[in-house]
Structure 1
Amino acid sequence: MSAVQEDAVIVTRALGIPYLWIDALCILQGDATDWDLESSLMHKIYGNAYRLHFDSTQWASRAWTFQEATLSRRMILFAQSGLYFSCGAGLVWEYGGVLEEPLNSSVHGIVQDTSAADMYRNWNQKIATQFSGRQAIYLADSLLALSGTAQIFATALDDEYVAGLWKGDLLAGLFWKMKDSLRSSFAELLQSLDDPCIGPSWSWVVRPAGGSAVGKVRGFGPGRCNLYPARSSAVLRMQYDTLKAQTVPSGMDKYGKISGATLLIKTRVYPLALGWHHLPDDDDDCDGKRLSDTGNSYLERPGDNKVAFSYHLDFFLNPDVNDPYQSWKQDLTLVLLGRINYESSESEDELGETPCRLIVHQAKRNNSEYCRVGTFGPSTSEASSGTVFDLDMDFCYNWESRSLKVI
């Protein structure tokens, strides 16, 4: 037994707590069956426990410790600066400091007496953003490390969980975007998505951010747009014939690891080979000659008119010696999923309605399947001339209707 574990035993006895859970001792290490069983019960263990935490920067950055903080109703933290007690009401320091906000958002508080719409919003804004960016020894364990939290939400929502997203909120959930570009090139992104054992390309949970870290979610919204702005309400409406997500669990925990996942879509699509042009921003220092992972572009339509949109890609457009002309741009496809408008809190008028889509590319291992590589939505740049217009729904109604399988 390590010195930290011995200290935990001493403190537990001093507090009069009859049981102590240490995962290194309570789970049979190296036994996949026992690991699968015990990991699916973490929400019950943490949800009814006191959490004794010995301060460490590694603890706060690991994927597996996320649930220890969010599922525990109360925690005692031992740090170099002193002793802390945290619960749903706030954080208390032994020397008298009191913070109204708790150390971490409590899952139990998030789902209690809350509407389904607010629970979906809380999942995206609090769970996704706080869990993402953490380290996992094996990236494939990321879904397992979130399993207990997902089980509590599933019960409260009476909804089906699909690899970090929810079927009842699938349209909004698909429009996640990462804080930083995930890979140095498009080719490396496709390579990272070529392992079907980790998870689908449309899930933020399994997106790598270098090494074995989960990519950091910056927010939700198509292109450059924010789905949850501070002073207005985003209204997102479906614009597809079919949108179905399905996952296949690899063990007894249907919220944990998966052996396969698909997203079936039937809707209107637009191949970017028909014409995609960069629309420089005011602060663009490359004269519009080079794209970045986020920005504004336009499509050409009959009559020499241009329609503008914003994009957010899951990779950074670094120069690639193997593909200096970035030929992949001709193989991207826009997939219509919804239409979005914003209602201002200061006015009852709707501020316009524009289409929003995923950006997909053919998967490396099967040309009949696709990977999500970005999103696009309303333009965030003022039109530079009278020939540039915002992309509207009328333009999309003439696009070809197709069925796609996104993996």
Structure 2
Amino acid sequence: MPLPKSLRRPVRRAASSSLTGQSQRKKCRTCNNLDPRDHTSSIYQTEAAKEPRASLNLVLDALSLAKTKQSGCRFCNALILALDAFFENWRGTRGRVNVVMKENATIKVSVDGQRWKNETVEIYAGSASRTPWPTLGTAHHIPVDSGSDETFDFIRRCIQGCIANPKHTACRFASKSSISAPKRLVDVGRSSSPIRIMDTEGRSFQYAALSHCWGSSPLLTTRKSNWAELAVNISFSVLPPLFQDAIIITRQLGLRYIWIDSLCIIQDSLRDWETESFKMGSIYQNSYITISATNSGDGSARCLGERRKPVKIPFQNTTGKEFALRARKILDHLPDNAPNGGPAKPIGPLTSRAWALQEHVLSTRILHYTATELLFECNTSYRCECMPERKAYPTTPSLIPKAVASKKTGAVWEAWQRIIEQYSTRHLTVPGDKFPAISGIASKIRKATHSDYLAGLWKGNLASDLLWHVSLPTSASSGHFALDTWRAPSFSWASLDAAVTFNILDDEEREIFVPTVSLLASSTAPTGFNPLGTISDASLTLRGPTTSATLCSEQNHGKWDYTLMIKGTSMIQITHDCMLVETDVKTEDGREQRTVRRGQPNDLSRQFKAPVLCLGVARYDNFIAGLVLGVSERNILAWERVGTFAAGTEALQNTQEQELILV
């Protein structure tokens, strides 16, 4: 009788009794002979599990490891040689070396520190028939050139595997959209025809799309002055190197057309930019394949080219016999608790750009060109050159389709909030693009929920959306401030350039999550043709429980903390949106009223005690969560958010129902 799933868990146990005490003593105390077995920290899978039987994670001191003599442990020496080959000057660090081992698998080695973040060295057997020691596994071959025939064959297998697989229903349905096709495409030409920009005139074409960083290098763009010229002929030599590679990839895949934003949108036409950027969601969704130049920082950085070759690590057994031991650099793109812990994590400059997130999320099929290998994702699965088997792993492009297919509105709201959490960590060249750069995803959410979009929040999930909070910096010198130029209302996460998080609720928590505010009215004022894009004003009129409080600021270890004083309760620490300052605003009758607002970079931070208003937004169990508000300087009849709070319901027993305008 098989074990129930709840019992199929890794177990930690003492060293195997099958080994004699003498053989155990031969294991190196530092590296355990790079063997995941028979260490006090070894973890063993149950017999029912499909994963390798033993695993071991070692954390080694870099300085101590670097002092290991060449005549010492031959396993430590192999580890040191691999580190020397890929982590320059690691010997001088005071960090940690992390060694992850699994039985019959490769060994993953990383070094702590921002310099080597996400970088991993993989040690593996060069030959499956002659492994240096029994527990070391082999690795899949990765071509040393991303433009090789072998690599293009891998891409074709990935695409055809997606298209032909009957289980990939989400990949087939995703390309059906009511929004029109791109207005323009780049015709990559044939032997008898030139490269040019063509008007699609509403017709359907099979095309690729490019996702890339613009960067600071000169970039060929379509403008009113050169549109007619580019519609006739574009010389291959005048294209940026990245665009040249994108055209080569398009041709290699048997396609004739590609969509490149800088060429297919007239950049100095506001009307054309707003109209076409609003359609980006469907443009990437309907593309045959999205080419993601993940490792290219700008148009001058090619995505086709040579990669760093693996290195040979000298290794001999006790009899002097030499074995094929290899090491190569990989990027830690596999999800946590691989392979089923979540979507893959492609790494490169493009993953820090805000516009690229919706291109990733909304693509039906996407090919990431990273520094070390190719990663393919679709709405159903992902494959990479280091793990080419086709399996139904979670993917980022599947996030919204799966949420919609679940027919649970809560799943769609959760998908939106998770996307915003990622989006808020990314950068924009033009700060005013905060809403346009996410409008493609917002369009999909609106279509799925039929909810009103309220400056980055949703009417159907308003209470939960209002309770976003800033992921505060760990150091005193890296604090956040209010924006110099208004971009969004204070109740929106888009009003700050800061990473934000939400309290993601599961099904059980949603049942006890009770909104305590009601929406009486709302307004947003779009500035252009994109109804989900840039706005000039927005407000919410809410009714909910309020109580007056005093907000106190205090500096601790160089950082500012803010606490609420409410009559009859203990102090409540808030999660502030950024540095806060006290200020005076004039009331309707001309009197000055003390309040609190978000601080600007040139504001002097100091201790204060000033009145604020607390608005209860939602209740769950015996807790209530809400907003901390100050009187608005823009509209003295309205309130602006400065932070959030959470406290026991007894803290807000003496509340008063009140109508408030938030701006």
- Is TM-score (shorter-chain normalized) higher than 0.5? yes
Distance 1:371 1:188, change over 3 A: farther
Asked whether 1:358 is paired with 2:627, we answer yes
Per-residue CA deviations over 1:66-110 (Å, capped at 9, x if unaligned) read 111000011122222122211123321234445723255543333
Deviation at 1:290, TM superposition (A): 8.4
- Match of residue 526, structure 2, among 249, 252, 256: 249
Name the CA distance, whole Å, in 2 between partners of 1:79 and 1:195: 36
Q: What is the match of residue 492 of structure 2?
A: 203
Deviation at 1:362, TM superposition (A): 1.7
SS of residue matched to 1:331? strand
SS of residue matched to 1:205? helix
Name the CA distance, whole Å, in 1 between partners of 2:444 and 2:626: 30
- Match of residue 266, structure 2, among 14, 28, 38: 28
Q: What is the match of residue 637 of structure 2?
A: 368
Q: What is the match of residue 383 of structure 2?
A: 92
Per-residue CA deviations over 1:105-129 (Å, capped at 9, x if unaligned) read 54333322331122112211x2111
Q: What is the match of residue 382 of structure 1?
A: none
Deviation at 1:59, TM superposition (A): 1.1
Q: What is the match of residue 502 of structure 2?
A: 219
- Match of residue 444, structure 2, among 143, 152, 159: 152
In structure 1, what residue type is equivalent to 2:275? L
Q: 2:292 touches 2:366 (CA, 8 Å); kept in 1?
A: yes
Of stretches 312-321 and 128-137 in structure 1, the one that deviates more from structure 2 is 312-321
- Match of residue 52, structure 1, among 291, 298, 306: 291
Asked whether 1:405 is paired with 2:661, we answer yes
Per-residue CA deviations over 1:234-272 (Å, capped at 9, x if unaligned) read 622122354543211111211111121001123332221
Mapping of residues 3-402 of structure 1, within 5 Å? 3-49=241-287, 50-56=289-295, 57-98=348-389, 100-102=393-395, 106-124=399-417, 126-180=418-472, 189=481, 191-192=482-483, 195-196=485-486, 198-208=487-497, 215-220=498-503, 227-228=504-505, 235-240=512-517, 242-273=519-550, 292=561, 299-301=566-568, 306-307=569-570, 309-316=572-579, 322=604, 324-326=606-608, 329-341=609-621, 353-378=622-647, 390-392=648-650, 395-396=652-653, 398-402=654-658
Name the CA distance, whole Å, in 1 between partners of 2:507 and 2:471: 19
The CA RMSD measured in Å over matched residues stands at 3.3
Name the CA distance, whole Å, in 1 between partners of 2:291 and 2:451: 33
SS of residue matched to 2:407? coil
Distance 1:323 1:131, change over 3 A: closer
Name the CA distance, whole Å, in 2 between partners of 1:366 and 1:43: 36
SS of residue matched to 2:566? strand
Name the CA distance, whole Å, in 2 between partners of 1:108 and 1:92: 19
Deviation at 1:45, TM superposition (A): 0.4
Name the CA distance, whole Å, in 2 between partners of 1:200 and 1:42: 25
Distance 1:262 1:51, change over 3 A: same
Name the CA distance, whole Å, in 2 between partners of 1:7 and 1:141: 28
In structure 2, what residue type is equivalent to 1:32? L
Per-residue CA deviations over 1:181-238 (Å, capped at 9, x if unaligned) read 59989x984x52x644x11111113311xxxxxx212333xxxxxx537996662212
Name the CA distance, whole Å, in 1 between partners of 2:412 and 2:507: 17
Q: What is the match of residue 223 of structure 1?
A: none
Q: 2:573 touches 2:645 (CA, 8 Å); kept in 1?
A: yes
Distance 1:298 1:229, change over 3 A: farther
Deviation at 1:13, TM superposition (A): 1.2
Deviation at 1:3, TM superposition (A): 1.1
Deviation at 1:321, TM superposition (A): 8.5
SS of residue matched to 1:358? strand
SS of residue matched to 2:368? strand
Q: TM-score, normalised by structure 1?
A: 0.76
SS of residue matched to 1:121? helix
More RCO (CA 8 Å, sep 6+):
1
Name the CA distance, whole Å, in 1 between partners of 2:410 and 2:366: 29
Q: 1:334 touches 1:358 (CA, 8 Å); kept in 2?
A: yes
Deviation at 1:26, TM superposition (A): 0.2
Name the CA distance, whole Å, in 2 between partners of 1:45 and 1:355: 43
In structure 2, what residue type is equivalent to 1:216? A
Name the CA distance, whole Å, in 2 between partners of 1:290 and 1:142: 28
Distance 1:182 1:175, change over 3 A: farther
Where structure 1 has 5 or more consecutive residues not aligned to the other structure, the ranges are 209-214, 221-226, 342-352, 379-389
Name the CA distance, whole Å, in 1 between partners of 2:447 and 2:362: 14
Name the CA distance, whole Å, in 1 between partners of 2:603 and 2:262: 47
In structure 2, what residue type is equivalent to 1:392? E
In structure 2, what residue type is equivalent to 1:313? H
Q: 1:361 touches 1:370 (CA, 8 Å); kept in 2?
A: yes
Q: What is the match of residue 344 of structure 1?
A: none
Of stretches 231-240 and 157-166 in structure 1, the one that deviates more from structure 2 is 231-240
Name the CA distance, whole Å, in 2 between partners of 1:118 and 1:62: 26
Name the CA distance, whole Å, in 2 between partners of 1:169 and 1:175: 11
Per-residue CA deviations over 1:133-159 (Å, capped at 9, x if unaligned) read 111112210100111111111111111
Name the CA distance, whole Å, in 2 between partners of 1:183 and 1:270: 32
Deviation at 1:336, TM superposition (A): 2.3
Q: 1:337 touches 1:356 (CA, 8 Å); kept in 2?
A: yes
Q: What is the match of residue 115 of structure 2?
A: none
Per-residue CA deviations over 1:356-400 (Å, capped at 9, x if unaligned) read 22111122333222211111112xxxxxxxxxxx4427x53x434
Q: 2:465 touches 2:502 (CA, 8 Å); kept in 1?
A: no
Distance 1:391 1:291, change over 3 A: farther
Where structure 2 has 5 or more consecutive residues not aligned to the other structure, the ranges are 1-238, 296-347, 582-598
Distance 1:309 1:231, change over 3 A: farther
How many corresponding residue pairs? 350
In structure 2, what residue type is equivalent to 1:336? G
Deviation at 1:308, TM superposition (A): 5.8
SS of residue matched to 1:86? strand
Distance 1:127 1:52, change over 3 A: same
Deviation at 1:355, TM superposition (A): 2.7
